[in-house]
């Protein structure tokens, strides 16, 4: 038994990405300045009642041929420099509200960290809405475990915490492709 524990001990030191097939480095809480930026982003949400969800095209670097076929077929829109299928995803309103409420929770974020095994940020989803004539966009990259919010105050990029990522976010509300 002791020998088995010694063999398994190094696994505890592996980053969660090795165990859960993502490249998230995680674990670093937001610093004060990042927490203030997150709180400001949430205050910039405004009226989210018109929010719609778009699914991203395939990853342009990790799935090059599939991505190119999707681009060539048309039927996409560009949102903050990334291509999404033009037709919004049919997501129940209450699920959109739950995702935005999850984003609003401080412990759903961790300090952004560079990723070494990712093909680069590429959002799986974008939640888009307008308030007061200004568009807001929340992009979610499941490969990198990152939230990217664009609003009146600018752009904020943070890691999605394990609590948020491995909870209902990817399991029920906005499922990972293939789930």
Alpha carbon 120 to chain centroid, angstroms: 12
**Mean pLDDT of the region 154-179:** 86
What are phi and psi for residue 52, nearest 5 degrees? -130, 160
The 3-state secondary structure of 67-83 reads: HHHHHHHCCEEEECCEE
pLDDT reading at 152 higher than 90: yes
How many angstroms separate the most distant Cα atoms in the chain? 64
Mean pLDDT of the chain: 84
Confidence of residue 160 (pLDDT cuts 50, 70, 90): very high
- Encode pLDDT of 132-151 as tens digits: 999 999 999 988 889 999 99
Helix (H/G/I), strand (E/B), else coil: 103: helix
More confident residue, 135 or 27: 135
Note the pLDDT of residue 2: 40
More confident residue, 35 or 5: 35
- Strands 134-141, 125-131: pairing is antiparallel
- Encode pLDDT of 46-102 as tens digits: 999 999 999 999 989 888 999 999 999 999 999 999 999 999 999 999 999 999 999
Hey, what are 154's tokens? Answer: 């600018």
Residues 6+ apart with CB under 8 A from 98: 168, 173
For the chain, domains (ranges, CATH) are 28-56+90-173 (3.30.1490)
Are the C-beta atoms of 24 and 144 separated by less than 8 Å? yes
Helix (H/G/I), strand (E/B), else coil: 5: helix
More confident residue, 8 or 43: 43
- Encode pLDDT of 98-132 as tens digits: 999 999 999 999 998 776 666 678 899 999 999 99
Note the pLDDT of residue 16: 38
pLDDT reading at 26 higher than 70: no
**Mean pLDDT of the region 8-23:** 39
């Amino acid at each position: 038994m002791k020998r088995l524990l010694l063999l398994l001990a190094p696994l505890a030191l592996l980053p969660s990405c090795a165990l859960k097939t993502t490249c998230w480095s995680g674990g670093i809480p937001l610093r004060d300045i990042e927490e203030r930026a997150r709180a400001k982003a949430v205050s910039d949400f405004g009226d989210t009642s018109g929010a719609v969800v778009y699914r991203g095209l395939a990853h342009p670097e990790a799935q090059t041929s599939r991505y190119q076929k999707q681009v060539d077929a048309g039927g996409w829109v560009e949102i903050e420099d990334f291509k999404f299928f033009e037709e919004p995803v049919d997501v129940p309103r209450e699920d959109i509200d739950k995702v935005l409420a999850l984003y609003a929770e401080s412990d759903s974020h961790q300090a952004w960290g560079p990723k070494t095994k990712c093909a680069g940020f590429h959002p799986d989803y974008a939640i888009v809405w307008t308030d007061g004539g200004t568009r807001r966009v929340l992009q979610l990259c499941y490969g990198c475990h990152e939230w990217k919010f664009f609003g009146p105050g600018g752009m904020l990029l943070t890691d999605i915490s394990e609590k948020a990522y491995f909870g209902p976010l990817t399991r029920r509300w906005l499922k990972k492709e293939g789930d």
